[in-house]
Amino acid sequence: MNLFPTNEHRVERAVRIVLGLALVSQVFTGLHSAWFALGIVPLATGLLGSCPLYTLFGWSTCPVPEKKA
């Protein structure tokens, strides 16, 4: 069993990274709040390409690779 299986589509990963960076950057604009901590989650999952909740529930947004006969 793979601990961090890739289960996110490339577009979803990009959106998670951008959203995470936007939330984490709030600390540099003077807005020190819980949004900074919340931004770490989408940033980390986007960089890893693996969402723990997707793994837990068996979901995946990755395209299924074609099996060669």
Q: pLDDT tens-digit profile of 6-63?
A: 899 999 999 999 999 998 888 887 766 777 888 999 999 999 999 999 888 888 888 8
68 in a domain, yes or no? no
pLDDT at 35: 75
**38 vs 16: CA distance, rounded Å:** 12
Does residue 52 sit within a domain?
Answer: yes
10-39: buried (b, 16+ CB within 10 Å) or exposed (e) per residue?
A: eebbeebbebbeebbebeeeeeeeeeeeeb
- Its pTM stands at 0.80
Using one digit for the tens of pLDDT, what is the confidence trace for 44-53? Answer: 999 999 999 9
> Is 46 inside a domain boundary?
yes
Residue 41 belongs to some domain of the structure: yes
- What's the chain's Rg over C-alpha atoms? 15
Distance CA 25, CA 27 (A): 5
Domain membership of residue 22 as a residue range: 10-57
Give me the number of domains the chain comprises.
1
